Copies of this chain bind each other. A is one copy, B any other.
Amino acid sequence: MISKEENILFAAEKLFAEKGFEGTSIREIAKAANVNISMISYYFGSKEKLYEKLVEYRMNEGQFFSKDILERTDINDWEKIEKIVDQFAGKVRHQKCFYRIMQREQLHTQNPHIVDFLKQTKMGFISMYSKILESGLKKGIFTKNPPIYLLHSTVSGTLFYASNAKEMYKEFLNNTDEEEIFDDTYYTELNTHIKYLLKDLLGYEENK
C-alpha cells in the first residue's frame, strides 16, 4: 500500500523531472497526486522541503547500493568496477526521473541540502574508484593510474549524455523496435562501451 505522502512524492518527482523545480507548481503536483493543494505544505512544510525530501528519499533508497561491493572477496577488482557500472547504469535507466532532477541540479542549485547530497554521492563514487584502483594496481590487475575525476567524468558523463539523448539517437538509428526492446539493446551497448573505455583507462586486460 502506497502512502499519501509517497503518492505526492512520486507525482512531484515526475513533474520535477519533466519541468524543473520552478517550472512545476504545487497545484500541478496536487492534481497529479490527487490531493488537496494545501496538503503539500501541510505534509512537507513547503515546496522546497518537498523537493529536498524527495532527494533524500531516493538517496536513502539507494545509498548502500555499492558500499558492500568493496568488501567482497569473491570477485576481483575489475569485476567490482563492472558491478558498479552495472548498478549505476541500471539506476540511470530505471530511475530516469530522479537522475534527470539530479542532473538539472548539477547545473546550478542554490539549495545547500542538494549540494550536499550531490557532493556526497560524487565523493562516494570517487572514493570507491580510488580504493579499487589502488588495490587493482597493487595486484597488477590494472596497469594504468588515471586521474580519478576523469575516470568518473567519463563514466557518469557518457552514461548521462547517452541516456538523455536516447530519443534523438533512436530516431537517428531509424529504430522501429518497441520501447522496451530498444532500451535493452541501447543500454547493453552503452554499458559495454563504458566498460571498454574503463579497460583502456585502467589498463585492464581480460584474459591475462
Contacts and interface: CB of A to CB of B under 8 A. Distances in A.
A143 interface: no
B149 A173 contact: yes
Oligomeric state, in copies: 4
Given A22-B20, A100-B108, A154-B158, A122 B189 contact: no
A149 B164 contact: no
Contact of A103 (B107, B147, B190): B107
A23 B105 CA distance: 13
A21 to B, nearest CB: 7
Contacts of A123: 172
A126 to B, nearest CB: 7
Interface of A: 17-23, 100, 103-104, 106-108, 118-119, 122-123, 126, 146-147, 149-150, 153-154, 156-162, 164-165, 168-169, 172-173, 189-190, 193, 197, 200-201
28 contacts: A17-B107, A18-B108, A19-B108, A20-B22, A20-B23, A20-B104, A20-B107, A20-B108, A100-B108, A103-B103, A106-B164, A107-B164, A119-B168, A122-B165, A147-B193, A149-B162, A149-B169, A149-B172, A149-B173, A150-B189, A153-B162, A153-B165, A154-B157, A156-B157, A157-B159, A157-B160, A158-B158, A197-B201
